[in-house]
Amino acid sequence: MRLVRLNPDVMELLVAGDRVAAAEATGVEISDFLAGDDCAWLYRVRLEQIAGDPESAEWVVRAAVSEPDGAVVGHAGFHGPPDEDGLVEVGYTVDPAYRRRGYARAMVRELLRWAAEDDRVRVVRASISPDNAASLATIAGFGFVKVGEQWDDEDGLETLFERRV
């Protein structure tokens, strides 16, 4: 698994529907999923976040590329840079055409590796709907421990899992 940065210019291209220019800028084939409406909302949210916190650009959404075939199988990243306590939260989505093949676990593995390489990161969090069996299974075996719950205005009830780096 390789994570390819989608910088703000690329996210703007994807929101505008310009897959060709986005592919040229990233060096990877932009899938229908990455260029579609299912992801455009995320790019808008992240672009707004980056406008207020430019450091976020380095941490948020990246194309998840399967190796060695080079297929873009989804996106992964963090919700932002480490906070003052050294916490980062993972986010990942697998293109429906590639689900149930182990790509989500590969994304989480790569995100954990990335987090471990930054001295500021102490804790990695995952927030998952209690009835999202696929995501709960994805983080199993990575050492995440349930630490609580929260209410998300968009996603509803979420269970919080954390692991030390």
Sheet harboring 156-164: ordered strands across? 2-5, 62-65, 72-78, 87-94, 123-128, 156-164, 145-152
The confidence score (pLDDT) of residue 36 equals 92
pLDDT tens digits, 103-147: 999 999 999 999 999 999 999 999 999 999 999 999 999 999 999
Number of domains in the chain: 1
Exposure string (b/e) for 118-131, b if CB count within 10 Å is 16 or more?
eeebbbbbbbbeee
CATH number at residue 95: 3.40.630.30
What local confidence, expressed as pLDDT, does residue 154 receive?
A: 82
Burial of 135-160, coded b for 16+ CB within 10 Å and e otherwise, reads bbebbeebebeeeeeeeeeeeeebbb
| Tens-place pLDDT, residues 33-44 | 999 998 999 999
Q: pTM for the whole thing?
A: 0.94
pLDDT tens, position by position, 66-89: 999 999 999 999 999 999 999 999
Computed over every residue of the chain, the mean pLDDT equals 96
Domain limits for position 105: 2-164
pLDDT of residue 128: 97
Identify the pLDDT of residue 100. 93
